[in-house]
Chain A
């Protein structure tokens, strides 16, 4: 599926060279199919901040690797201490299906968990599991509503309305940086079409043609709570053994 998108992206790019105006769907397809690394290893810090300024910090070591039609991810929780060495593994298939497991050190057991909880919030943060994944462009109807320059970035503004009326957001609006095909800002609207959350890009790194978003901030405007997600020690296309994404490594942790 993603291969098809890459071919269509090449065709779209050829179209833009000859001066054709992109539509909303094509812009979102470009962001979805921009080059990604085959592997990535990084430390992830999540800083949760409430309206009083109280902060809670979660630290995770994460590994990702593409295996043809499946992307495998392993996350080892390092902090807080009561969840230390808890491990989460997911295998995401191109058809959109996903297998997920969790290893809880106290139970000493790897458990398969349902991947049907994408609307749940991840570790008490402002990100849902769905927010952290790549939503396929075909799941929404996209419309280019304008172009604007923000903080020196020329952006397309694309409104996306989900095909599934039961989806947790009634619509999203994304500001896509034109020459990089990454989101600079995104607004999420609740079922009453009220603004719920704002995602903003704080920092990114370029590793060749691969762009890694190294710091983003999600602000829930309805309850004045925010989460900063910061990646550090990012290594892309580094050799990661295939067996990193197995039950064995879930139990062993980062060693």
Chain B
């Protein structure tokens, strides 16, 4: 099957005038440092890019094959689209990744392409995005661009399989069953998503203003309790993940100040469903609230080291004390990067720090280019949990994976 798909893509590409191939082969092995020191991942990847063009039309396909010992080959066609170029207009049609915003590693206005969280936030950012089938139209007015995106069918965030070490399921002290019957959004015209953005790169400042009418990529968990009694006692729950409509408007900017790049990004979301405690103190109810999500970031260099830091806050409007999530969730990101030996050796550390739960994910890496296009990268993922938290307390999105610390090695050849 995979061979047939690849052959079709290659043949279709070769019909266009000029064709260019590229991609990479990668071996990726990671082992958990705690417990039985299991291999968290052993994966061989072949990522192909194929680009063909003829006059004002071009074609792009990005098939990827993943192989892991003891598993079937897995195939992903993250992008496959046609571009049509006109004088001041471009049209892209097909499965594509659309990236917006000025933030790094944060999803505030960058919400057009959903995420693949099957390995949490650990894959490279181009692998965290899932492609969406969409029509994208860009109208250029000098250095400014109007972009319109129409997505006919909804694509949800991909979550880790329940057997995965990256799975995070609701915790109830009673038996749970899951009902997926309401999860999918029927492919109908009225269920489409639309986004629009006006952006510009100008002397001294870049900006984006965006709006969207979308489905929440992350499903809300509708929970139906079963009580036995009297007195009534919770005996079971049925979880029904469902997606809800969201409206969003926001923007972002970046500018250079005194040798540093200042970045900002913010968006106001209308109609998010938050989990809330019911009368018996179980997180069973849903409350619909708006929230504001924003960041401020600074990029600068000190000597030969490049730094980048961001403060991110998600604040729920008209907060209700019954909501499980705190009113304001604060996160910091930090990046330091330095190259040595004429940019062949790169040392980097990237970290997320959750300020509410005192949890963190710290990711040091060291990479070396053995030859042009041939990179060996070693790294670690260190999850930090607040040691003072009790077992019943929420350890935060990073602290939850405290037992998943791992070291890994990636060998990648780009061609």
- With A99-B203, A115-B256, A246-B201 as contacts: A81 and B372 at CB distance below 8 Å: yes
Q: Which residues of B contact A101 (CB under 8 A)?
A: 201, 206
Is A81 in contact with B415, judged by CB distance below 8 angstroms? yes
Bound together, the chains give a CA A38 to CA B353 distance in angstroms of: 50
Is B375 in contact with A82, judged by CB distance below 8 angstroms? yes
User: Which stretch in B66-74, B137-145, B237-245, B268-276 binds the other chain?
Assistant: B137-145
Residue of A at shortest CB range from B138?
A: A248
- With A101-B201, A255-B53 as contacts: A84 and B145 at CB distance below 8 Å: no
Chain A min CB distance to B17 (Å): 11
User: Which stretch in B162-170, B222-230, B298-306, B317-325 binds the other chain?
Assistant: B298-306
Residue of B at shortest CB range from A100?
A: B256
Is B255 in contact with A108, judged by CB distance below 8 angstroms? no
Is B99 in contact with A116, judged by CB distance below 8 angstroms? no
**A interface footprint on B118-132 (CB within 8 Å = 1, 0 otherwise):** 000000111000000
Is B375 in contact with A120, judged by CB distance below 8 angstroms? no
- Kindly state whether residue B3 has any CB partner on chain A within 8 Å: no
Bound together, the chains give a CA A123 to CA B140 distance in angstroms of: 31
- Kindly state whether residue A117 has any CB partner on chain B within 8 Å: yes
Q: Which residues 81-113 of B have a CB within 8 angstroms of A? A: 85, 90, 97-99, 101-102
**B interface footprint on A165-203 (CB within 8 Å = 1, 0 otherwise):** 000000000000000000000000000000000000000
Q: Which residues of B contact A120 (CB under 8 A)?
A: 301, 304
Bound together, the chains give a CA A255 to CA B53 distance in angstroms of: 9
- Kindly state whether residue A124 has any CB partner on chain B within 8 Å: yes
Is A247 in contact with B145, judged by CB distance below 8 angstroms? yes
Is A117 in contact with B255, judged by CB distance below 8 angstroms? no
Is B138 in contact with A112, judged by CB distance below 8 angstroms? no
- Kindly state whether residue A148 has any CB partner on chain B within 8 Å: no
Max chain A Cβ within 10 angstroms of own Cβ: one of B24, B199, B343, B344: B343
**B interface footprint on A234-255 (CB within 8 Å = 1, 0 otherwise):** 0000000001001110001001
Q: Given A79, A82, A110, which contacts B201 in the complex, CB threshold below 8 Å?
A: A110
Q: Which residues 36-73 of A have a CB within 8 angstroms of B? A: 48, 56-57, 70
- Kindly state whether residue A225 has any CB partner on chain B within 8 Å: yes
- Kindly state whether residue B175 has any CB partner on chain A within 8 Å: no
Chain B min CB distance to A62 (Å): 19
Chain B min CB distance to A63 (Å): 16
Q: Which residues of B contact A125 (CB under 8 A)?
A: 342
Chain B interface secondary structure, helix, strand, loop or mixed?
A: strand
Bound together, the chains give a CA A80 to CA B373 distance in angstroms of: 6
Q: Which residues 105-131 of A have a CB within 8 angstroms of B? A: 106-117, 120-121, 123-125
Chain B min CB distance to A129 (Å): 12
Q: Which residues 215-274 of B have a CB within 8 angstroms of A? A: 254-256, 259-261
Q: Given B97, B299, B301, which contacts A108 in the complex, CB threshold below 8 Å?
A: B97
Q: Given B24, B140, B260, which contacts A114 in the complex, CB threshold below 8 Å?
A: B260
- Kindly state whether residue A91 has any CB partner on chain B within 8 Å: yes
Bound together, the chains give a CA A102 to CA B167 distance in angstroms of: 36
- With A114-B299, A124-B342, A246-B143 as contacts: A106 and B259 at CB distance below 8 Å: no
Is B342 in contact with A225, judged by CB distance below 8 angstroms? yes
- With A57-B372, A106-B126, A255-B58 as contacts: A247 and B201 at CB distance below 8 Å: yes
Is A247 in contact with B143, judged by CB distance below 8 angstroms? yes
- With A112-B256, A112-B261, A247-B201 as contacts: A81 and B343 at CB distance below 8 Å: no
Is A113 in contact with B299, judged by CB distance below 8 angstroms? yes
Bound together, the chains give a CA A162 to CA B138 distance in angstroms of: 47
Max chain B Cβ within 10 angstroms of own Cβ: one of A70, A82, A101, A124: A82
- Kindly state whether residue B178 has any CB partner on chain A within 8 Å: no
Residue of A at shortest CB range from B253?
A: A112
Bound together, the chains give a CA A53 to CA B124 distance in angstroms of: 35
Q: Given B126, B254, B256, which contacts A107 in the complex, CB threshold below 8 Å?
A: B126
Is B299 in contact with A107, judged by CB distance below 8 angstroms? no
Q: Which residues of B contact A114 (CB under 8 A)?
A: 256, 259-261, 299-301
Q: Which residues of B contact A93 (CB under 8 A)?
A: 203
- Kindly state whether residue B22 has any CB partner on chain A within 8 Å: yes
Q: Which residues of A contact B300 (CB under 8 A)?
A: 114
**A interface footprint on B389-415 (CB within 8 Å = 1, 0 otherwise):** 000000000000000000000001011
Q: Given A57, A91, A111, A248, which contacts B140 in the complex, CB threshold below 8 Å?
A: A248
Residue of B at shortest CB range from A48?
A: B342
Bound together, the chains give a CA A82 to CA B143 distance in angstroms of: 28
Residue of B at shortest CB range from A246?
A: B143
Residue of B at shortest CB range from A242?
A: B142
Chain A min CB distance to B276 (Å): 36
Bound together, the chains give a CA A120 to CA B337 distance in angstroms of: 13
Is B140 in contact with A246, judged by CB distance below 8 angstroms? yes
Beyond known contacts A99-B203, A114-B299: 9 more, CB 8 A cutoff: A80-B372, A80-B414, A81-B414, A82-B414, A91-B203, A107-B125, A112-B201, A121-B342, A246-B142
14 contacts between A and B (CB under 8 A): A80-B372, A91-B203, A93-B203, A99-B204, A101-B206, A106-B126, A110-B206, A111-B254, A114-B260, A114-B301, A124-B339, A243-B140, A246-B201, A248-B140
User: Which residues of B pack against A, CB within 8 Å?
Assistant: 22, 24, 53, 58, 85, 90, 97-99, 101-102, 124-126, 138, 140, 142-143, 145, 199, 201, 203-204, 206, 254-256, 259-261, 299-301, 304, 339, 342-344, 369, 372-373, 375, 412, 414-415
What are the 7 closest A-B residue pairs judged by CB atoms, nearest first? Answer: A116-B259, A80-B372, A124-B342, A124-B343, A82-B414, A81-B414, A81-B373
User: Which residues of A pack against B, CB within 8 Å?
Assistant: 48, 56-57, 70, 79-82, 84, 91, 93, 99, 101, 106-117, 120-121, 123-125, 225, 243, 246-248, 252, 255
